[in-house]
Amino acid sequence: MRTMSEILDVNSIKRAAQLLSDVVKRTSLDHSSRLTNKFGVDVLLKREDVQLARSYKIRGAYNFISSLSDQERAMGVVCASAGNHAQGVAYSCNKLGIKGKIFLPATTPRQKRQKIMEFGGLWVEIVIGGHSYDDASLAARRDEIRSGSVFVHAFDDPRTIAGQATVGVELLEQLPTPNVSTVVVPVGGGGLIAGIALWLRSQRPDITIIGAEPTGAPSMTKALANNGPIALEQMDSFVDGAAVGRVGDLTFPIVRDLVDEIVLVPEGAICTEMLELYQNEGIITEPAGALATAALSRIAIDRSKGAVVAILSGGNNDVSRYSEILERSLVHEGLRHYFLVTFPQEPGSLRRFLEEVLSDGEDIVVFEYVKKSNRETGPALVGIDLESPDSLSGLLWRMQNSPLEIEQVPPGSPLFTFLL
């Protein structure tokens, strides 16, 4: 049997590109006027958000499953996924006529679950396995042992990585000019960035490769600091497509050796970029899909060396999440703030708060009594939107000089999480 290093090389990526050329969509490489103007350098977007199943994940899934022997195909496949890999597996199972069982974390958006069934049809079965990708992965591994099915890894397998690497193959073929300085890639388990890094280092070693990882799930950052994959003790699963508790044993050394830098991007900044992409370019991304473009503000761009490419990795976003996306964005931008205000239970107390504490351009967007049993006072949760983050200092000054008892609820605090 060949070792992983023998399976995963430049030739395996070339074979994957040839195989997938008749299967996946050759996604466009688009110029972004907004980001170009913002950063003073040409910014190009690799549009995997419009890929089949609206994510690059189909590349790795199909490349993996198509490699199975007849005996393995007869046993079927099993996988764990936060949603996008599952859609790729479902599509591949249906296309190749192979039974598949797909384990999803409970946090997987409903829209993704529905798409999985649409792509897989009668060929796939969905099972909810825990609250995180790693919980689902453990459940899928147990099923693999019990049933004898083949486990299709979302990122830590040579065949998956080679499939994801074809994003990089297309990218270099599509560049309008060789004058490109940087490629920014979203990071979850590391399959996409490992594959792209392998290809770029073999073809264009001069290009800087930067990974973008969500602050709430810094699994690759922790692995690099530890010099090896390490399980996160806690994780924010909001960026579900990149919320992986432990990076791959195979992807880690590739990223360590070939990637120049990993930057962390706050979830609020990702939400702001999602809204910018939608409102300005008309592009719908999921949180992980906006990671790379959101990271541009956090990297040093050498404008003299040429264009920057950002990978938009996926567009599977449930419309029901936009209220939370807007909320996180406003809080991150300093435009929404929350306070606990203790009002005397007497006529006119709310009016005095409005007249004496609030100023022009400051609007109450949330008002909810937290406790009503006290007859003398009534604590309320008050959310206030500002026209500019610079207005906060004036608002806090007026609050300090108010006879009311007012406590700010800082973002990220346990109290903030509990109330909202």
Residue-by-residue DSSP string for 362-402:
EEEEEEEES----SSEEEEEEEEEESSGGGHHHHHHHHHTS
pLDDT at 415: 72
Q: How far apart are CA 409 and CA 402, in angstroms?
A: 17
Strand partners, 311: 46
Which DSSP string do the residues of 56-108 spell out, in sequence order?
A: THHHHHHHHHTT--HHHHHH-EEEE-SSHHHHHHHHHHHHHT--EEEEE-TTS
Tokens representing residue 362 in the block? 């400051």
Q: Is residue 361 classed exposed, middle or buried when 0-12, 13-18 and 19+ CB atoms within 10 A define those classes?
A: exposed
pLDDT for residue 79: 95
| Spatial distance between the Cα atoms of 329 and 275, rounded to a whole number of angstroms | 8
**Distance (Å, whole) CA 303 – CA 143:** 51
- The amino acid occupying position 30 is D
Residue with tokens 């690759």: 220
- This prediction has a pTM of 0.91
Note the maximum CA span of the chain. 82
3-state secondary structure 160-198: HHHHHHHHHHHHHHHCCCCCEEEEEEECCCCHHHHHHHH
pLDDT of residue 113: 87
Q: In the prediction, which pLDDT does 371 show?
A: 60
Tokens of 36: 């170009």
**Catalytic residues, which ones?**
57, 313
For residue 397, the tally of other CB atoms under 10 A from its CB is 11
Pairing outcome for strands 150-151 and 377-386? unpaired
Alpha-helix residue ranges (DSSP H) falling in 188-303:
191-203, 219-226, 251-258, 267-276, 291-294
CA angle 106, 107, 109 (to 5 degrees): 110
State residue 2's pLDDT score: 45
Tens digits of per-residue pLDDT, 45-71? 999 999 998 999 999 999 999 999 999
Q: Which of 340, 348, 352 lies closest to 403 in space, CA to CA?
A: 352
Residue 93 confidence (pLDDT): 97
Alpha helix ranges (H) inside 184-239 = 191-203, 219-226
**Residue ranges in the chain whose pLDDT is less than 50:** 1-6
User: For residues 402 and 354, what is the distance between their CA atoms, to the nearest angstrom?
Assistant: 11
pLDDT at 8: 87
Q: Which residues in 252-361 belong to E strands, given as ranges?
A: 261-265, 307-312, 336-344
